[in-house]
Structure 1
Amino acid sequence: MFYFINEYILQKNSSVEHTAMNRVKLFNHYKQPAQIVTKTYDRLLHQTIGTFNLADDEIVNMFDFFQHATDVPTQVLHTDDLNLPLASEVTVGANFSQVFEGDRQTSNVGFIPGTIGRVFYQEFFDGLGNVIETNLWDWRGFKSATQYFGQNGKLILERYYTPTGAIAMEQFFVPDTNGQPLASRIILKDYQGRGDLFFQNTDDLFAFFLSELSNQDPATTTFISDRPGTGVQPLLALNDNSRKYIYVPINHAVEPNDPVHGTLDGFLAPAFEHFNHFDGFLTATEQQADHLKQRYPQAKVNAISAVTMLPATKDQVVDQPQRRPHSLLYVGRIAADKQIEQLLRMFALVHDQVPDATFDLFGYGSPEYVKQMTALVQELKLTTSVTFKDYDPHLADQYDHYQLLVNMALADGAPLAMQEAMGHGIPVLSYPFNYGPQAFIQDGVTGYLIDRGNSLAMADKVRTLFTDDAQLTKLSQAAFDEAHQNWTRRKVWNRWQRLLQF
C-alpha cells in the first residue's frame, strides 16, 4: 500500500492537497492501491472528499481508523431521529432547533451547513443555560464524539465512539497559560485487546497510527509525506522496513533566491539532517531537485510532475474565438507574497489600452487582505473588470474560458495552475521565480518569462497578445502540446514506476 501523508482535506485546499489527490487517482488508475492519510478530526471529511471525486477507500483518517469508522454506510439523521424525551417541544430554526422541556431550554440541535435539518451536533444546557455537554455527529449519520465542559465553560474531555457506540478513545484537556484547553492525554481504550494505550498528544498518536498502518500491510508499505510539518517527525520515529519519502511542496530555502546555501525550511531541516533515514526526496521540478542535490550530494532526490494530462490530439485545444476575449486569469493564494497588488496595478495598465479586458482571480486568502485588494480594485476603477472568484473545487471546468494566465509571485513551489492552464491551451506569463516558471514555460513559445519587478513589460506583453490573435493562437497551441506531450498520465506513471521499482 502507498500512503500519502497529509494533515487534512478541506473544502478549500492548497496545492499540497491537490497534489496528493492527483497522485492517489493516478496510482489507483494503474491498480496500485494508494490512500491519502489525514490526521485532523473532521466529521465532514467524507462529504468533502466527494466534492473532489475521491472515494472513501482513497483516504484513511487517523480518527476514523481508531474509531473503526473507515467504511461506514451513510445515513441521513434528523432531529426526529434523536429519540428526544416525549415531553420535549422542538422549535425548528434555519440552522438549528431549540429543544424545551416546559419553559426550560435543554438543548440545541445544530444542522450540517448546506443541508436541510441534517444533524451535526446537540449541545445540552444546565439550569443556568451553560453548555455542559455536546454530542457530535459524523456526516455519515453516527454519533462520533461527546465533548464535556467544566464550570468555566472550557473543554475538559472529548470521548470518541465507534459507529456502534462503543468508546474508542478519550482525550483530556487542561488549561494552557492563557486558560485555553490544551490536550494533556489521549487514551485508546482497550486497543485490540491489549488494554488502554496512552499518548501525550495527537502528534504521538499520529506516529503510532503510521506504525499501525505499516504493521497491518502484508506487503511493503510506502509512505510519501506531502506535508513536511505533519509527516517528517513521525516518519523519523518509524524504524521498520517501510519505505519513506519526503515530497518537497514548497521552496525549501527560507531565502528563495539562495536555494543552495540559504537557511533550510524548519520543517524540512530534520529530514535532510537525517537523509539516510529516508528512501528519497521528491520535487515537482528538476531545477529544485538539482538545487537540493547540490546541497546534499548523498541524498536521493528525484523530480516528478505533480500534474498529469491525458494524451490529446491538436484539434482538442479550445480555439480563441470560443474563449472569453481579452480574459486574464490568476490562480493561487490571495496573499501579499503572491504580489496581488502588483498584479492588479499591472492589469490597470492593460485595461487602459484594452478597455474590454477582464481579470479573474481564483483562490482564497485572509478576509482582511482580500478586503484590502477589493478596495484597491475600487481605487483603480476596475470594479466591472476585476473579479475575485474565491476557491473553485472544479477549476478544471473554468480554464477553457480564459486566454492568458499570469503570476508575479516572489517565490512558489511549482504552482499546479501553470501546468493545468497550459494543459488547457493557456499561455503563461510569469516572473522567473523558484520554482516552476523556468521548468514549465518555454520563453516565447508557450508563454513568457518577464524580468522580476517589471510590471510594465508584463502589461505590455499581455496587451500585445490580446491584440494579436495569430500570436496568441500560436502560443496557445504550443502550450497545449507541451503539456500533453510531456506530462501525460503514462509518462508520469512510468517515472513513478522507475523510482519505486514496482
Structure 2
Amino acid sequence: MYYFVNEYILQKNSSVEHTAMNRVKLFNHFQRPAKIVTKIYDRLLHQTLTTFGLKDDDVVNMFDFFQGTTELAETKVMHTDDLRLPVESEVSVGANFSGVSVGDIPTGNVGFIPGTIGRVFYQEFVDSQGNPIETDLWDWRGFKSATQYFGQDGKLIMQRYYQTDGKIVLEEYFAPDTNGNPLASRMILKDYQGKGDQFFQNPDDLFDFFLAELSKQDPDTTTFISDRPGTGVRPLLALRDASHKYVYVPINHVVKQADPIFGQLDGFLQPAFDHFNSFDGFITATPQQAADLKQRFPKAEVTAISAVTTTPLVKDETSLKPMANRLAGSLLYVGRISADKQIEQQIRLFALIKQRVPHATFDLYGYGDPAFVKQMTDLIAELQLQSSVTLKDYYPDIDKQYDHYQVLINLSFVDGGPMGMQEAMAHGIPAISTPFNYGPQDYIQDGVNGYLCKPGDTLAMADKIVDLFTDSKKLTALSEGAYATAHKSWTRQKVWNRWQKFLKD
C-alpha cells in the first residue's frame, strides 16, 4: 500500500492537497493501491471528498481509523426530530441552529451542517445560566462521533470519541496553555485491540502510532510519501520498520530563494535533510529544484515528477478550444491571494492593459487572508476596475473554468511549482510570468508557449499581454504551443513511468 501523508483535505485546499488528490487517482488508475492519510478530526471529511471526485476508500483519517468509521455501509441524514429530545422540550427553529428549552429555561442548541437544511452537526447542552456543559458532535454520515465536556470556566477539558455503536474508543484531555486556551495533555486509546489502554501525550504522538499501525497491518511492504513536511517528516523519522519512506518537497526548500544551494533550509524540511539517509528519496515538482537539491545533497536520492497529468496528443484529434471561442481579452490568475504572489502588482499591471484593450477582463481564482482580500477589493475600486477585475475565490472545479480564458499571469516571488500554470497550459493557455524558483523556467519556453519577463518590468509584461490580445495569430500559436507542451511532457503514462522508476517496490 502507498500512503500519502497529509494534514487534512478541506473545502478549500492548497496545491499540497491537490497534488495528493491527483496522485491517488493516478496510482489507482494503474491498479496500485494508494490512500491519502489525514491527521485532523474532521466530521465533514466524507462530504468534502465527493467535491473532489474522491471515494471514501481513497482516504484514511486517523480518527476514522480508530473509530472504525473509515468506510460505512450506510449513512443517515439526522434532523432535530431524530435526536429524541425530551417530550417537554420546545424547539425554536432557526436558519443555522435551533434553540431548545423547557418552558422559559434554555437547555441547549442543535446546530446544522452548513449548506444543508437542518442536518444535525452538533447538540449543545447548557446549564440554567446558559453556560455550556457538554456538546455532542455529529458526523456528516449521521452518527454521534464525539462529545466535548467543559469546565466551570467554559473551557474544553475533555473529548470522547465513539464507534458508531456508541462505544468509547478514545479520550482526549486538555489543560490550559500559557494563554489559558485548551491544549491536549493526554490521549487514551481505550483497550486497543483488546490489549489494554494505550497512552499518548498529544495528537502528534497518536499520529506516530497510527502510521506504525498502518504499516503493521499491510501484508506487503508499505510505502509512505510525506506531502506536508510539517506533518509527515517527524513521524516517518520515528517509524522503525521496513517501510519505504519518501518526502515530497512542495515548497521552496530555502528561506531565501536567491541561495538554493547554501541558504538556510525551510524549518519543516530541515529535519528531513538533516537525516536524508533515513529516507528512500525526495521528490520535487520541477527539474530545476531537483537539480538544486542534488547539488546541495549529492548523496540524497532526488527526482522531479510532475504534479499534473494530461492525456497524450492524438494525431488529427484535439480537444483544444480555439482562442476565437473564448472570452476575448481574458486574463487569468490561479493561486493564493497573498502579498508574496504580488497580487497588487498584477492588478496595477492589468490597469495598464485595460487602457489599451478596453474590453479586457481579469479573473483571479484563489483564497487568502480576508484582510488582504479586502485590501485588494479596495484597490480594484480605487482603480475603477470593478467591472473588469473579479476576485473569484476558490473553485473546487477549477478545471472546468480554464477553457474560458486566453492568457495566464504569474508574478510570484517564490513557489514549489505552480500547479495552476501547468493546468492552464494543459487547456492551451499561454503563461506570462517572471522567472522565480520554481516553475516558470521549467514550464515556459519563451515565445513558444508563453513569455518569461524580467522581474519588475511591468511595462514589458503589459506589452506582451496586449500584443497577444490584439494579434490573434500570435495568440493562437502560443496557445497551440502551451497545449502541445502539456500533452507531450506531462502525460499520465510518462508521469507514472517516472514514479515506477523511482519508487523502491
Shorter-chain TM-score range: over 0.9
Q: CA offsets per residue over residues 202-257 of structure 1, 9 Å max, x none?
A: 01000110000000000010000000000000000001000000000000010111
Q: CA offsets per residue over residues 405-451 of structure 1, 9 Å max, x none?
A: 00001111100011100000000000110000000111110000001
Query: Are 1:225 and 2:226 matched, yes or no?
Result: yes
Task: Name 1:421's counterpart in structure 2.
Answer: 424
Task: Name 2:43's counterpart in structure 1.
Answer: 43
Task: Name 1:113's counterpart in structure 2.
Answer: 114
How far does residue 71 in structure 1 lie from its aligned partner after superposition? 1.1
Q: Secondary structure at 2:318's aligned position in 1?
A: helix
How far does residue 315 in structure 1 lie from its aligned partner after superposition? 3.2
Out of 459, 464, 475, the residue aligned to residue 456 of structure 1 is 459
Which segments of 5 or more consecutive residues in structure 2 lack a partner in the other structure? none
Q: Secondary structure at 1:184's aligned position in 2?
A: strand
Task: Name 1:91's counterpart in structure 2.
Answer: 92
| 2:493 aligned partner, one-letter code | R
Query: Are 1:481 and 2:484 matched, yes or no?
Result: yes
Q: Secondary structure at 1:186's aligned position in 2?
A: strand
Task: Name 1:175's counterpart in structure 2.
Answer: 176
Aligned residues: 502
Q: Which has the higher mean CA deviation after the structures are superposed, 424-433 or 78-87?
A: 78-87
How far does residue 175 in structure 1 lie from its aligned partner after superposition? 0.8
Contact 2:208 2:238 in 1 (8 A): yes
| 1:144 aligned partner, one-letter code | S
Query: Are 1:252 and 2:253 matched, yes or no?
Result: yes
Task: Name 2:18's counterpart in structure 1.
Answer: 18
Task: Name 1:9's counterpart in structure 2.
Answer: 9
Contact 2:431 2:444 in 1 (8 A): yes
Out of 315, 318, 325, the residue aligned to residue 315 of structure 1 is 318
How far does residue 384 in structure 1 lie from its aligned partner after superposition? 0.6
Q: CA offsets per residue over residues 17-50 of structure 1, 9 Å max, x none?
A: 0000000000001110000000000000000011
Query: Are 1:133 and 2:129 matched, yes or no?
Result: no
Task: Name 1:433's counterpart in structure 2.
Answer: 436
Query: Are 1:74 and 2:37 matched, yes or no?
Result: no
Q: Secondary structure at 1:316's aligned position in 2?
A: coil
Query: Are 1:274 and 2:288 matched, yes or no?
Result: no
Distance 2:457 2:3 in 1: 43
Q: Give the TM-score normalised by structure 2.
A: 0.99
Q: Secondary structure at 1:333's aligned position in 2?
A: coil
How far does residue 9 in structure 1 lie from its aligned partner after superposition? 0.2
Task: Name 1:211's counterpart in structure 2.
Answer: 212
Distance 2:438 2:178 in 1: 40
Q: CA offsets per residue over residues 154-199 of structure 1, 9 Å max, x none?
A: 0000000011110010000011111111110000000011101000
Distance 2:318 2:395 in 1: 27
Q: Secondary structure at 1:198's aligned position in 2?
A: strand
Distance 1:491 1:436 in 2: 19
Q: Secondary structure at 2:283's aligned position in 1?
A: strand
Distance 1:251 1:476 in 2: 29
Contact 2:244 2:504 in 1 (8 A): no
Which segments of 5 or more consecutive residues in structure 1 lack a partner in the other structure? none
Task: Name 1:326's counterpart in structure 2.
Answer: 329
Distance 2:189 2:228 in 1: 25
Distance 2:15 2:227 in 1: 10
Out of 334, 342, 360, the residue aligned to residue 363 of structure 2 is 360
Contact 2:402 2:427 in 1 (8 A): yes
Q: CA offsets per residue over residues 125-144 of structure 1, 9 Å max, x none?
A: 11111111000000000000
Q: CA RMSD in A?
A: 0.8
How far does residue 102 in structure 1 lie from its aligned partner after superposition? 2.0
Moved over 4 A (4+): none
How far does residue 501 in structure 1 lie from its aligned partner after superposition? 4.8
| 1:34 aligned partner, one-letter code | A
Q: Which has the higher mean CA deviation after the structures are superposed, 385-394 or 88-97?
A: 88-97
Q: Give the TM-score normalised by structure 1.
A: 0.99
How far does residue 466 in structure 1 lie from its aligned partner after superposition? 0.3
Contact 2:222 2:243 in 1 (8 A): yes
Contact 2:136 2:148 in 1 (8 A): yes
Distance 2:259 2:53 in 1: 39
| 1:133 aligned partner, one-letter code | E
Task: Name 2:353's counterpart in structure 1.
Answer: 350
Q: Secondary structure at 2:18's aligned position in 1?
A: helix
Query: Are 1:290 and 2:291 matched, yes or no?
Result: yes
Q: Secondary structure at 1:329's aligned position in 2?
A: strand
Q: Secondary structure at 1:444's aligned position in 2?
A: coil
